[in-house]
Structure 1
C-alpha cells in the first residue's frame, strides 16, 4: 500500500477507536513518524494532505527542514540534548520530549532572540523504566511549576513511552496512569496556557489502546511508512 493509503487507513482506525469509546476523533492528532525515512516520503505524505511529522534526530531533521520547512509542522519526539537546543528551537513547532528544567531553559534561551514561542510537552517516565527518558511522575508537579515561569515555551501537556512489550494491552495501565496524572496536575492549574491538555502516547502497535485511555496525540511511523532499514 502507498503512504497515502496507509495514512487513510490509520485515520479511519482513529475514527473507529474514538467513536467506540465515546470520543470525538477531531480531538486526536496523528503525528507521522518520519525518522530514518527520506524527505521524499514526507513530501509524498504532504501531497496527500498530511501535515504533522515526528523526527527523532536533530541533524536528520535539520536537513529535512531545508526542503519541507514551512510546508508542515515538525514535532521532536526523540531524546534532546541541551547542546542541540539551539537547532531545535529554530526548526521545530513542538518539542514533545522535554525531560529536564535544564533543557527547557536552554530552549527558552535560544527562542528569545528568534522571538518565538513553541509548545512543549513534559516527558514522563510513567513506567519508571531505566531504558526510557523522562521525569518521574512524582517530580512532574515541581518541574511544571518551574516550566511555567519560562516566557518562550508553552507547556501544553504530557508525553510518555511505556516499557516495551509485544502485548499492547500491557501498555494500558501506563497510558491510564499518565491520563490520571494529567488530570491531577490540571486541577492544580499547572497547564495555564492551554485549554486542552495534550497527552502524547501510543504508537503503531498500541495507538488504539492509547486512544481508549485518552491520548490526544499518537505517534505512528511503521504503519505509515513501512519498516526502516
Structure 2
C-alpha cells in the first residue's frame, strides 16, 4: 500500500478526538510531501538538525513536533518554528525552552514526559517530580512555554497487559494533575500522547488523545 492509502486507512480507524502525528524521522522529503498531499499536516522528528532541514525545505503550514530526547544546547535551533515538544523530562529543559521561546517572541507548547515503562533506557519524570514542577513558583514564572499535556512510552514488549497497565497509569496521573492544578497561564492539560505503530489502538482505549505513527504510514525505517 502507498503512503496515501496507509494514511487513509489509519485515519479511518482513529476517533475524532485523537490527533495523528506522522513520524517522518529518517524519511525523505518526497515521502513527507506525499503524506502532506494526502492531507497530513503534523509530522514528528527525533533529531533537531534533520527537522530544521525539513522545515526549511517543506511547506510552511506543516506543524513540526519534536518527539525525540532533547539536549538543552540544541533547543535554540528549533525554537523559531517547532509546534510541540513531546519529550520534556526536566525543569532545566523547560527553562531553556522558555528562554529560547522568549528570544523568538513565541510561546512554545510542551508535553512533560513521564517514565512509565519497566525499561531503564526510557527517559521521563516520576510522579513526585511532576507534581513538584507543576506546584513550584519557578514553573509559574515561565511565561514563554505552555505545558499542554503529558507523554509516555510503554515498555517494548508483547505483553499487552503490561502495556495496558502502563498506559492506564499515565491516564491516572493526567486526570489527577488536571484536577489538582486546573489551568493557568502556562498550563492547560488537554493532551495525553501515548501509543505508536504497534500499540496505538490500546493506547486510545486507555485514554490517549495523540498517537505517534511512523512505520504503519511510511514503511520500515531507513537507518
TM-score by length of 2: 0.93
Equivalent residue number for residue 57 of structure 2: 67
Note the alpha carbon deviations across 1:52-111, whole angstroms, 9 max, x for none: 010001111111111125231111000000001111212310001110111111111111
Q: 1:38 aligns with which of 24, 28, 39?
A: 28
Counterpart CA distance in 1 for 2:101 and 2:140 is 15
SS at the partner of 1:164?
coil
Equivalent residue number for residue 154 of structure 1: 146
Counterpart CA distance in 2 for 1:175 and 1:133 is 16
Q: Structure 2 vs 1, CA of residues 27 and 192 (structure 1 numbering), >3 Å: closer, same or farther?
A: farther
Q: 1:51 aligns with which of 41, 52, 75?
A: 41
Within 5 A, what are the aligned runs for 1:1-229? 1-14=1-14, 25-68=15-58, 70-127=60-117, 129-146=119-136, 147-189=139-181, 191-193=183-185, 197-229=190-222
SS at the partner of 1:218?
strand
Unaligned runs of 5+ in 1: 15-24
Q: Is the 8 A contact 2:134 2:181 kept in 1?
A: no
Q: How many residues align?
A: 219
Find runs of 4+ consecutive structure 1 residues off by over 2 angstroms: 144-149, 166-170, 190-196
TM-score by length of 1: 0.91
SS at the partner of 1:151?
coil
Counterpart CA distance in 2 for 1:69 and 1:149 is 34
Q: CA RMSD of the aligned region, Å?
A: 1.5
State which drifts further: 133-142 or 71-80: 133-142
Q: CA deviation at 1:127?
A: 2.5
SS at the partner of 1:27?
coil
Unaligned runs of 5+ in 2: none
Q: CA deviation at 1:39?
A: 1.3
Counterpart CA distance in 2 for 1:150 and 1:128 is 32
Q: CA deviation at 1:128?
A: 5.2
